[in-house]
Structure formats: structure tokens, C-alpha cells
Amino acid sequence: MDPSSVIIPVSESIGTVSGLLEIPKSPRALVVLAHGAGAGMRHKFMESLAAALASKSIGTLRYNFPFTENRKGRPDPPAIAEKTVAAALRIANTLHPDIPVFAAGKSFGGRMSSHYLSKESPSFVEGIIFYGFPLHAPGKEGIERAAHLAAVKVPMLFLQGTRDALATFPLITQVCEGLSLADLVPFEGADHSFKAGKQEITPGLAEATDTWLHGLLQKPTTD
């Protein structure tokens, strides 16, 4: 299926960014998917992930951050990135108010999404999915970047390669064990780009996402 183009207004000062909306037949969820620091929404990984999720009846809204939209090399400051996350989530819910909405992102995109959700909790956002959380810089191990996650009030899914240089597996395990709302799924041998030799990891990412969403959306609500 061909995604449809969406214009996302962020603010008067920031302007608009582009989005790509891909809604399969009878979608069970709508994942609002932010890209990483090194590539935009049309990157091969983003396209293949969106297609794999669609095969599981999971819709996606991919979108650019302003620095990508405007072809600037350096990622946006957190304040701008977080406003963009908020705008993308809002338009996803506006366009499809009947579909459960989940924030998500690859690396930088996931971290900026969680920073936003650590400060704001829109009632329509059901959870957040990290496709490789960037816990630390390569060779500079630490968990300081995870401090804000304790303030996130929705369920979190961490999909992490066991050879990710930006999140050594013992440390990301430690972080997730300290978060009552977090689930961690390892991808053996995969790096931060989810490359693991000749293995095709993307179908597994979609499968793990589908399994987690199924369990989450099937849980009975309590008054």
C-alpha cells in the first residue's frame, strides 16, 4: 500500500513538517514513528518497518523533525523536537480518533518522544515503543539519559540489539528492571541499526511490537 502524505503544523515559529500515513485494513493500533538523528522518515529502515507493521494490521504515521525537513545537518534542540512529537501525536489522533495511538521512534526519535511523555500525558497515547533507545554515546557508558523515563506514565517497550554500542545490554537491562512499566525484548547479535550479519531483523521487530500491543490492548480496563 502507498502511504498518504500529511502536513503536520508544529507551531507558528517552527512551521510545518511532512508525514507519511500508512493505514492497513482494520488497524488495531496507530504507531507514530519518529526517525533517528541520521536519517529522515523515508530512510529504508523506516520504510521497511512501516511495511512490516502494516502486515500485522498496525498503522504508522512517519514524520520528519524540522532539521530533516529543512535539510539541516544537526538535530533539533529537545524543545523543538518535543513540540514536533506532540504535533505528530495530536494529528494522528485527530485523523483516526478511533484507533489506539502509540508513540514510537528510532534512537533519537524515541528518546525525544519519551522526553515529551515524561512531561505531558495526553489521554489518547497508550504507550511508547523504542526501536533502539540511545542510552549513551559509544564508548561512554552511563544511564543518565534514562533518568526521565521514571516520569513516563504509559507502558514502554524497548526493542534492543545485544550488540548496540549506544546501549550496552547489561545497562539497558538495568534501566528496564528499574521501570515498572517497561518491557525489554533483546535481538541477539544486532547493533544499533538492527544489523546482525545477514539476518533480516525488521520482521522480528514487527512481530515483537505486535505481541506487545496484543497483550496490552487485550488487558481489561478497570474503573
Domains of the chain with bracketed CATH = 4-217 (3.40.50.1820)
Q: What is the pLDDT of residue 219?
A: 66
Q: What is the pLDDT of residue 198?
A: 87
Q: What is the pLDDT of residue 2?
A: 83
Please report, as a single letter, which amino acid is at residue 63: Y
CA dist., res. 57 & res. 6, Å (int): 20
Phi, psi torsion values for 166, nearest 5 degrees: -100, 5
> Could you say which DSSP state residue 196 is in?
B
Q: What is the pLDDT of residue 223?
A: 42
pTM: 0.95
Which residues share a beta bridge with 184?
Answer: 158
**11 alpha carbon, distance to own chain's centre:** 22
- Low-confidence stretches of the chain (pLDDT beneath 70): 1, 219-223
Q: What is the pLDDT of residue 162?
A: 97
CA dist., res. 33 & res. 215, Å (int): 20
Q: How many CB atoms lie within 10 A of CB 167?
A: 26
